[in-house]
């Protein structure tokens, strides 16, 4: 029951009906007797600046999760952002400070790593491949470098995106080797599909983000992961599983990120 004393957090995007954060957060708030509620806001783009001004004045609102299409648009409109948000020009969470200032961060990569650690993956000195260098892929690549991978390969159908991210990572993390275009997958400890390929697929033989011949070179001890949330087991993950690889799904990443988002807004511990 929402009461006058209930504190609020929100998730903003458009469309919004598909997001899972409200049910995940609200279940956690209820289970832990917290007088906090998450609202889902489907915001039309022309209202974005007015919305930000309203957030600054909204005194019983602690923060706001940000989803498509506002992650990049909001990064340049906040009062301050983390170093990684500034580098990636993207935010997926905002905290409202008591004085009304809005502070942003992007924790997709940290959420991904939390989930991977639960599979026993430790990024230090490992070799990883990230397919898809958009908002989520860039954040995962950044966090993998920050966590000490020795070699990161990035790939995308957009050469320009690969070039821009590669240049940023080489400049920021000179100790990691950054390369592109994998010829084989056999040496990777981790392979991530961070592209939307497989979203909405209904059968195991749906589209793959890499040619099947390249997929065949996967070794059975590589952790193969996907960010796509629906279906949970994408054709990419089904293929990897058929080769004996351990897999990590998009919903696992989303759930593992809850603590990062809630902690940043000040409404949950980091490890929930």
Instruction: Using CB under 6 A, list all residues that contact ligand NAD.
Output: 68, 108, 131-137, 155-158, 161, 194-197, 199, 209, 227-229, 250, 253-254, 257
| Distance set, CA 211 to CA 182, 195, 218, 250 (Å) | 11, 14, 12, 21
Smallest distance, Å, CB 37 to ligand NAD?
A: 21
The whole-angstrom separation of Cα 90 and Cα 109 is 12
Q: What angle do CA 241, 237, 84 make, to 5 degrees?
A: 130
Burial 197-233 (b: 16+ CB within 10 A, else e): bbbebeeeebebbbeeeebebbeeebbbbbbbbebeb
Q: Which residue's CB is nearer to ligand NAD, number 197 or number 201?
A: 197
Smallest distance, Å, CB 190 to ligand NAD?
A: 15
Smallest distance, Å, CB 192 to ligand NAD?
A: 10
Smallest distance, Å, CB 79 to ligand NAD?
A: 24
Q: Which residue's CB is nearer to ligand NAD, number 50 or number 167?
A: 167
Smallest distance, Å, CB 56 to ligand NAD?
A: 26
Q: Which residue's CB is nearer to ligand NAD, number 101 or number 117?
A: 117
The whole-angstrom separation of Cα 223 and Cα 164 is 26
The residues facing 7 across adjacent strands are 36
Q: Are 103 and 94 in contact (CB under 8 A)?
A: yes
Q: Are 221 and 227 in contact (CB under 8 A)?
A: no
Smallest distance, Å, CB 161 to ligand NAD?
A: 5
Q: Which residue's CB is nearer to ligand NAD, number 175 or number 271?
A: 271
Q: Which residue's CB is nearer to ligand NAD, number 63 or number 135?
A: 135
Q: Which residue's CB is nearer to ligand NAD, number 69 or number 97?
A: 69
Reference 214, options 270, 137, 145, 155; nearest CA is 155
Smallest distance, Å, CB 239 to ligand NAD?
A: 14
Q: Are 77 and 52 in contact (CB under 8 A)?
A: yes
Q: Which residue's CB is nearer to ligand NAD, number 49 or number 159?
A: 159
The whole-angstrom separation of Cα 25 and Cα 269 is 12
């Amino acid at each position: 029951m929402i009461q006058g004393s209930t504190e609020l957090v929100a998730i903003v995007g458009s469309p919004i009906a598909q997001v899972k954060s409200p049910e995940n957060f609200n279940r956690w708030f209820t289970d832990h007797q917290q007088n906090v509620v998450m609202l889902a806001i489907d915001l039309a783009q022309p209202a974005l600046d007015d919305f930000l001004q309203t957030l600054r004045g909204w005194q019983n609102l602690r923060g706001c999760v940000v989803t498509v299409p506002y992650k990049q648009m909001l990064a340049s409109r906040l009062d301050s952002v983390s170093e990684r948000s500034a580098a990636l020009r993207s935010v997926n969470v905002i905290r409202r400070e008591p004085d009304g200032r809005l502070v942003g961060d992007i924790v997709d990569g940290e959420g991904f790593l939390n989930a991977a650690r639960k599979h026993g993956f430790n990024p230090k000195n490992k070799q990883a491949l990230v397919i898809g260098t958009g908002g989520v892929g860039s954040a995962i690549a950044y966090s993998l470098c920050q966590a000490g991978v020795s070699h990161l390969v990035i790939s995308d159908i957009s050469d320009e995106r690969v070039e821009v991210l590669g240049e940023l990572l080489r400049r920021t993390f000179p100790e990691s080797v950054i390369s592109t275009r994998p010829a084989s997958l056999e040496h990777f400890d981790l392979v991530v599909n961070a592209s939307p390929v497989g979203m909405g697929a209904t059968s195991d033989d749906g589209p793959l983000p890499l040619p099947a011949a390249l997929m065949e070179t996967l070794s059975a001890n590589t952790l193969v992961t996907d960010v796509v949330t629906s279906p949970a087991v994408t054709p990419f993950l089904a293929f990897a599983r058929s080769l004996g690889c351990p897999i990590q799904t998009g919903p696992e990443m989303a759930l593992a990120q809850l603590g990062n988002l809630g902690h940043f807004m000040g409404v949950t511990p980091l490890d929930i």
